[in-house]
Amino acid sequence: MSSRYLLKLNLVVLPALLICAPIVQAAVDDRARQLSFSTVDLNCVEWQQATVNGLAAPCSDNQFLHVVSPVQQSELADFYYYGEQVAQDYHQAAAWYRKAAVQDFAYAQFSLGFMYSRGEGVVKDSWLGLKWLRKAADNGLAAAQYAVGDIHYYGEGVVKNLAEAERWYRLAAEQEYSFAQYSLGYMYKKGDGVVQNFELAREWLSKAAAQSSPDAQVTLGMMYMNGEGGEVDLSRSFELFYKAATQGNVVAQTNLALMYRDGNGTGRDYERALMWYQNAARQGYAKAQSSIGFMYHKGLGVAVDMARAIEWYTLATQQGELTAQFNLGLIYLTGDGVAKDLKKAAQWLTVAARQGDPDAQYHVATLYKNGWGVTQDYAQALQWYRMAQQHGNEKAGLEVVEIEAMYSAKVDITPALVVRR
């Protein structure tokens, strides 16, 4: 299930409900807990209404609140689902959502489908989840339409179907649902299930960005930066990244930091660059952690501090961040501010090489060719050089020719080392 889908229930606006606050809810909670749903068919609307009609609580003005309408039933279900004014109880929440759902109340259908999809208060059942979500979607609830689109996009319990995903995203997007607008724009940007169209991508992403969707703001910012669908506009990119960054989006924070660091679209400002990198790094974003390591490595706005550089690089490598792995390998290979350690160099460069990085593959090949930190092995060297060549490293091609011509010869080749940004 996509992370965005898990937030759906927080994105649906319920109709205003006339609830008599704590006194009513205490009484409702006490009465509701006496009801047993274990042996009753909850699809039986007649039973539901007979039971619900007996559930009443006095308000402060001595009037009675009857939980009869699907709106009220859904409100009570929400109290149980979120644990507001009553103890959180997913089983009770599912039961009350079901009461409203069988009366064709879209929000309850959506909520029940959501609970089946996650197995909250019910046995997890993707088919039933989709069934209820589809009912809500057919009733025009934008959040449900988007959820059904997500299910088809990711193939969650169904065969992946991008055409169906696009159809449902579009229905929700036309209701100004920002998540759907973003998803539709992203599909057009990537040509994912639709003909690639940067102009339409910008159009839909702009609609979502205007509703403060950080994902849309970041994606649209990248399009302006790369000139996709129009002219390059770095000031617009900066503006969009800033809006998303202030919402806590780590990608935007990292992109904003990079623009400050390199003076790209704004004045160069290492202090602000480091601040934004740190904001993203504190949230565990590996690319930002690696970038902080680079700033300490090269002394950008701070004193060169190899101990801190290695600390940040290492933190990023724990999440598989390729650039950090590569730079850490080069530090140990060259003895840049630390004792040279060819075994550690081979370790980190190999990890990066296995992720398909051509420069790392070239260096690993050279290590094997010369027996630096590893047992000399021309067969391994040739294999890595060939992989580097296939991934676009031109120097590797020359090495392949040489080793193939002089397979058993030892050649002292010192690779050109370039630390990455």
Angle ∠(134,136,142) on CA atoms, nearest 5: 100
The residues spanned by each domain of the chain are: 343-421
Closest Cα to residue 90, out of 103, 102, 81? 81
| Burial status of residue 52 (CB atoms within 10 A of its CB: 0-12, 13-18, 19 or more) | buried
pLDDT in 10s for each residue of the chain, 421 residues: 443 334 433 444 332 222 333 333 433 444 344 333 333 333 333 333 344 444 434 344 433 345 579 999 999 999 999 999 889 999 999 999 999 999 999 999 999 999 999 999 999 999 999 999 999 999 999 999 999 999 999 999 899 999 999 999 999 999 999 999 999 999 999 999 999 999 999 999 999 999 999 999 999 999 999 999 999 999 999 999 999 999 999 999 999 999 999 999 999 999 999 999 999 999 999 999 999 999 999 999 999 999 999 999 999 999 999 999 999 999 999 999 899 999 999 999 999 999 999 999 999 999 999 999 999 999 999 999 999 999 999 999 999 998 888 765 555 544 445 556 6
Q: Are 386 and 402 in contact (CB under 8 A)?
A: no
pLDDT at 24: 34
Distance between CA atoms of residues 137 and 132, nearest Å: 9
Give me 142's structure tokens: 């934008």
Residue 86 burial (CB count, 10 A) = 19
Angle ∠(5,9,13) on CA atoms, nearest 5: 125
Q: Looking at 266-341, list the stretches that DSSP marks H as alpha helix, in order from N- to C-terminal side.
A: 270-282, 286-298, 306-317, 322-334
pLDDT at 413: 45
Distance between CA atoms of residues 18 and 321, nearest Å: 52
Strand partners, 97: none
Q: Are 248 and 217 in contact (CB under 8 A)?
A: no
Q: Looking at 33-161, list the stretches that DSSP marks H as alpha helix, in order from N- to C-terminal side.
A: 45-53, 70-82, 90-101, 106-118, 126-138, 142-154
pLDDT at 4: 34
Closest Cα to residue 199, out of 230, 234, 173? 230
Distance between CA atoms of residues 134 and 352, nearest Å: 44
Q: What is the pTM of this model?
A: 0.78
Phi first, then psi: what are they for 220, rounded to 5°? Answer: -65, -40
- Quickly tell me which residue has 């179907």 as its tokens: 161
Distance between CA atoms of residues 393 and 361, nearest Å: 9
pLDDT at 6: 40
Query: Angle between the 214-226 and 198-210 helix axes, to the nearest 10 degrees?
Result: 140
pLDDT at 114: 96
Q: Are 244 and 217 in contact (CB under 8 A)?
A: yes
In sequence order, which residues have a C-beta less than 8 Å from that of residue 401 and are 6 or more positions away?
Answer: none
pLDDT at 13: 34
What is the DSSP annotation of 31-66? HHTT---TTS-TT-HHHHHHHHHT-EEE-TTS-EEE
